[in-house]
Structure 1
Amino acid sequence: MSKNIVIAEDFNVSRKIISSVLTKAGHSVFEAADGKEAASFFDGRKIDLLVTDFNMPEMNGAELIKIVRSSNKYSFIPILLLTTEVNENKLKTALDENITAWVKKPFQADDFLKIVTKALR
């Protein structure tokens, strides 16, 4: 069943790869180059999953997650945090916002898709 997924990733190549994997799996994808752009998709439309990078310009992943979680409509959607971040204090900030899973970059497409499928159940 097709789901609506927002991808927030500032690195264009990574964003396109993630989008391709999800589109091939039958999902509708909304792409954003940063958290601020991604936040604009949470405007009342049906969003089933947020996949966000941690370190981005304009608005980082933790800030985006906080905005999404503050909305009644989106407070319980699954959120996957993509990161190469190793600073545990920064990651704790995102974890405090009740993410569903954290995916360490780089990752294998098949493994990523399994995590997405599990999160969407």
Structure 2
Amino acid sequence: MTVRFTTILEGLEVVMGLGIHPEELAAPQRVIVSVRMEVAYAAPPAEDRIDAVLDYDFVRSGVQALVANQHFHLQETLCEAIAALCLSDARVEQVTVRTSKPDIYPDAAVGCEVVRGR
């Protein structure tokens, strides 16, 4: 019996290089990352232990490492890179990645979302 859980990392704030405009190329900016993973298991966790399920720490630390020393020009390529990170765990069947740049405009955030699966 396969069981599915949704594992969510919501509102991770990173400061990173992202964008194509001169001011975005000159300095890092705040980016908000949210990830929703549909995860399949052979059975429900029999024990209340983290090693029985997908530990979302790998996504958080993976995103932080991904953006630490790399400038992305497009939110689309950033979303794709995060989706690939999540899908590196074979239990993840589908992932939705959303990014947002909250400080570009005074009256709106701009973002991107991608859904990828196996």
TM-score (norm 2): 0.28
Greater share of strand: 2
Greater share of helix: 1
Higher gyration radius (CA)? 2
TM-score (norm 1): 0.27
